[in-house]
Amino acid sequence: MRIEKLEIKNYRQYRNVTFDFAKKDGKPDIHVVLGRNGTGKTNMLNAITWCLYEEESHLGDKNASISELNTEAISEARKNGQNTVSLSVAMTIATDDMARPKLRIRRIADFNVKPRSVQPTEVRIEVQEYLSDGKNWNAYTAQDLQQSTISRHIPHEINEYIFFDGEQLEKYFQGANREKLQNGINSLTQVNLINRAFTALEDYRKRDLTPKIKEVGDDVIDRIQDEIQQQEMLKAAELADLEEYKKQKASIGADIIKYDEIISTNEKLEEQKNTYAQLEAKYDALDGQLVKLNKELMLFVREQYTLFGMYSAFSSYYKYVKAEADKGNLPPHFDKSMLLKMMNSSKCGVCGQTLTTEAYDYIQRVIDKMSVSSEVAVQLQQSLPVMRANFDEMNKFPVKLKSYQDERRRLEQEIKVCDQELTNYQLILNSIPGKEAILDAIHKKKDAAELLSTTEQGIGACNERIKKIDEKLEQLNENLKTQMRKNEKMSGLLAQREYVDNCKAILTEIKNETVVETRNRIQEETFKIFQDLIWKKDTFSRIEIGEDYTFKLFDKYENQTLGSCSAAERALLALSFTLALQDVSGHSSLLYIDTPIGRVDTENRANFMNNLLDVARNKQVILTFTPTEFDHTVSNILTGNTSTFGELLSEEGVTTLKVS
Amino acid sequence: MALTRNIITKIDERTKEHPQMRKDLKRLLNSCEEGRQLKRVVEDILKKI
């Protein structure tokens, strides 16, 4: 399906502009519309969705502030005294249906223009299909036929996968979009239809069949039915819990991706923070060692100071005693009283013999010569080694002092290095933008992971309880059937109930199988397309799409990388998913992307644009850009490769199109 | 949009022995798609049972 023509009249900035999206031979089916902010790029997208579904899906505050009916048209009407003015958007679409190859849609809104106000009065639509067999245009007037004709070609449910704004591509996998995504997929795969059919059968069984059965039933049947009802209520409560758990799981999953995105801006922050803490501890330890060393040094110096204070006295004393000892003036130990006793008795104190005159004189000379007592002499001599030890100690002082000083210098140096490292880390930490948010995200991610595990346990427990209830229900239904067979009046109702149950069982089987099949096919197809398009061929290994459509993208080391992907890679994954979705659902539509590279960094723009060019070889791609986005890189890739190129110009709030 | 080939195949596979059920399921699903009163459709289907 492709848009051939888009005509916008009196809609917001547009007075009267026609976009002709004809495909040029030999060129990719790519169409570029360039426009400054405010010229109506996004309102071009809104015009399309309004024309198709009477919805302006991309109406932000900025666009909503522009009057729906063009202000110049209002002024002109007032000037000419005209009361009714219309705005309209018309589209000509080439479909994939050979029998109805073209579709024309024109939605018109009428306004009552008063001097001070403008009131909308009516919105109407014209839908025409070109029938190839009759070779004519067939107009539909019935409202339901008009809308179903549009939906047959461009299903409302998938319009978000055809008409994008660039920001949406980047936010594709965030929580809020996932539910929409799941609904869209369920619509595309008709799982929603199955759900509706199932509910219709379920409602009929509960509200119509069950009361009728009760009416004609007996006590045993009533009792079993009450029990069934009770079990069904229990099951409904468990299913509601399960749904809650699943929602919680999806929400936690989305939170984790969000935290990963924040963390990925500086994955090493926590490591740096830890290193900083270790450095701080090292600094404190070194500082402690220095304080201890300084204390030891003070004590040592104080001790040595005492010794040094007495040094001159010690030195003179030592020199004197040593000199006297060297001269032999310090006699060995004699017992002077014994010598005197020997002289008085004139007998030798050892052998008892009478002393000779020579011996007597000799003893007398010895006694005379002893100027100091021998005891003092001994003590003086004994003090010499002590004195020497003190001198030795004092001689060691410079060596010991140097060793203390060396150690102190070493510690001071180490502290300086550590301090420098701390300063550097501090600078690094301070320079990290959003540091607090990253740390916060790291902690929250840990909490979320724990909560996720608890939630998964809850889901497991819920499933287990549901399984038991189902077993009980099966048994009760079997009993009920047996009882009902006994009651003839019941046979018709029983058959109806059984028929409804069988239909429900088939629908459940089809639904479950379709859901799993679709998810697996989209998963495979998305990764295949992504691998074809991505410029980093060896980085990613697989995609995993969860039951709740949570996306996981793994690298070759089996690490989840979606959170840390660049905006371009994420947008490309979204694009791959969209193409896969269109393939799987069999709705091959165009792609309309408003500002596709708004969030893509400069280095990846070329890659991304080349990808879009590849896509445009097989389907229509309409892109809108601001002049800033349409930079040298983008222009080089697209120039000469587009089927049409137009520029939106704005003069006094009115947009015109310049085609080149 | 009409029922997809995938859904039709799955219904056919599961109702080989029950042509009436096949017809009824397709009718019910088509009615859902067309936005019809489903209670009436179910009632009508069950009348024949």
- CB-CB: which of A151, A495, A509 is closest to B49? A495
The two three-digit tokens of residue A407, written as one number = 């150690």
Tens-place pLDDT, residues A457-482? 999 999 999 999 999 999 999 988 88
> For residue A284, what are its two tokens?
């404190």
Query: Closest to A200 (Cβ–Cβ): which among B1, B14, B39?
Result: B39
Gap from B48 CA to chain A (nearest CA, Å): 9
CA distances for A59 relative to A42, A49, A64, A176, A182, angstroms: 8, 11, 6, 17, 23
Residue A261 has a pLDDT of: 78
B8–A contact, CB cutoff 8 A? no
Residue A485: pLDDT band (50, 70, 90) is: confident
Query: Which of the residue ranges A583-587, A626-630, A652-656 would you say has the lowest mean pLDDT?
Result: A583-587
Q: What is the mean pLDDT of residues A177-203?
A: 86
Question: What mean pLDDT comes out for the span A408-435?
Answer: 88
Contact A194 B7 (CB under 8 A): yes
ipTM for this model: 0.98
Nearest to A197 among B2, B6, B29 (CB): B29
User: Residue A606: what pLDDT?
Assistant: 86
Over residues A342-364, mean pLDDT: 86
- Between A262-266, A574-578, A609-613, B35-39, the lowest mean confidence (pLDDT) is in A262-266
The 3-state DSSP class for residue A82 equals coil
A residues 575..634 contacting B (CB < 8 A) = 586
CA distance A602 to chain B (A): 42
Q: Which residue has the higher pLDDT, A78 or A602?
A: A78
B3 to chain A, any CB pair closer than 8 A? The answer is yes
Q: State mean pLDDT over A320-344.
A: 78
DSSP category for residue A110: E
Residue B42: list chain A partners with CB under 8 A.
Answer: 200-201, 204, 500
Q: Which of B14, B33, B42 sits opposite A201 (nearest CB)?
A: B42
Average pLDDT over residues A108-128: 93
What is the four-CA torsion angle of A69, A70, A73, A77, rounded to 10 degrees?
40
Distance in angstroms (rounded) separating the CA atoms of residues A252 and A258: 10
Task: State the pairing for strand pair A591-594/A2-9.
Answer: unpaired
pLDDT exceeds cutoff 70 at A633: yes
pLDDT computed for residue A362 by the predictor: 86
**Is B44 within 8 Å of chain A by CB?**
no
DSSP A608-619: HHHHHHHHTTTS
Q: How confident is the model at residue A585 (pLDDT cuts 50, 70, 90)?
A: confident
pLDDT band at A256 (very low <50, low <70, confident <90, very high): confident
Work out the minimum CA distance from B18 to partner chain A, whole angstroms: 11
CA angle A12, A18, A21 (to 5 degrees): 125
| Interchain CB contact of B17 with A (< 8 Å) | no
Answer yes or no: are the C-beta atoms of A111 and A120 closer than 8 Å. yes
A617 vs A124, more confident? A124
Given this model, what pLDDT does residue A169 score? 65
Report, as an integer, the average pLDDT of B15-31.
94
Give residue A196's pLDDT: 94
CB contact under 8 A, A507 and B46: no
Name the closest residue on chain B to residue A206, using Cα atoms.
B39
A203, A499, A507: residue with CB nearest B49? A499
3-state secondary structure of A474: helix
Interchain contact, A499 vs B46, CB within 8 Å: yes
How big is chain B, counted in residues?
49
Å between B22 CA and nearest CA of chain A: 9
Which residues, 6 or more positions from A621, have their beta carbon under 8 angstroms from its beta carbon? A28, A29, A30, A31, A590, A591, A592, A593, A612, A615
Summary mean pLDDT of chain A: 86
Q: Answer yes or no: do B38 and A200 touch at CB < 8 A.
A: yes
| Residue A371 confidence (pLDDT) | 54
- The percentage of chain A sitting over the pLDDT mark of 90, rounded to a whole number, equals 40
Flag if A507 and B25 touch (Cβ within 8 Å): yes
Question: Using the beta-carbon criterion (under 8 Å), do A500 and B3 form an inter-chain contact?
Answer: no
pLDDT at A392 over 80: yes
Best probe of the A interface among B23, B42, B44, B47, by most A CBs < 10 A, is B42
- Average pLDDT rounded to a whole number, residues B33-46: 89
CB contact under 8 A, B32 and A197: yes
The rounded radius of gyration (Å) of the Cα atoms in chain B is 11
How far is the alpha carbon of B13 from chain A, nearest alpha carbon, in Å?
10
Secondary structure class of B2 (helix, strand, coil): coil
Contact list, B35 vs chain A (CB under 8 Å) = 144
* CA atoms of A339 and A349, how far apart (whole Å): 8
Tell me if A503 and B43 make a contact (CB, 8 A cut-off): no
Q: β-strands A591-594, A621-625: how paired? A: parallel
Helices A490-533 and A191-204: crossing angle in degrees, nearest 10, is 160
Q: How far is CA A9 from CA A44, A51, A315, in A?
A: 11, 12, 118
Using pLDDT thresholds of 50, 70 and 90, give the confidence band for residue A439: confident
Residue A337 banded pLDDT, cuts 50, 70, 90: confident
HSE toward the beta carbon, residue A38, CA cutoff 13 A: 6
A70-79, A219-228, A528-537: least confidently modelled range: A528-537
- Provide the 8-state DSSP code for A209: I
Determine whether the interchain pair A503/B7 forms a contact, defined as Cβ–Cβ distance below 8 Å.
Answer: no
Reported as a single tens digit per residue, the pLDDT across A74-89 is: 999 999 999 999 999 9
Give dist(CA A582, CA A595) in Å, integer: 21
* Mean pLDDT (whole number) for A56-76: 81
Q: State the average pLDDT over residues B17-41.
A: 91
Q: How confident is the model at residue B40 (pLDDT cuts 50, 70, 90)?
A: very high
Distance from C-alpha of A444 to C-alpha of A256, rounded to nearest angstrom: 8
A334 token code pair: 């004699």
The mean pLDDT of A10-18, rounded to a whole number, is: 95
Contacts of A405 (CB under 8 A, 6+ apart): none
Buried-exposed string A489-513: b where 16+ CB fall within 10 A, e elsewhere: ebeebbebbebbebbbebbeebbee
| Whole-number pLDDT of residue A171 | 66
B39 reaches A (C-beta below 8 A): yes
Please list the helix, strand and coil fractions of chain A in percent, rounded to the nearest 5, in that order.
60, 15, 20
Q: Do B14 and A510 touch (CB under 8 A)?
A: yes
CA distance A613 to chain B (A): 30
Contact A506 B32 (CB under 8 A): no
**Of the ranges A8-17, A324-333, A561-570, which is most confident?**
A8-17
Task: Check whether A430 has a pLDDT greater than 60.
Answer: yes
CB contact under 8 A, A190 and B14: no
Query: According to the model, what pLDDT value does residue B1 have?
Result: 57
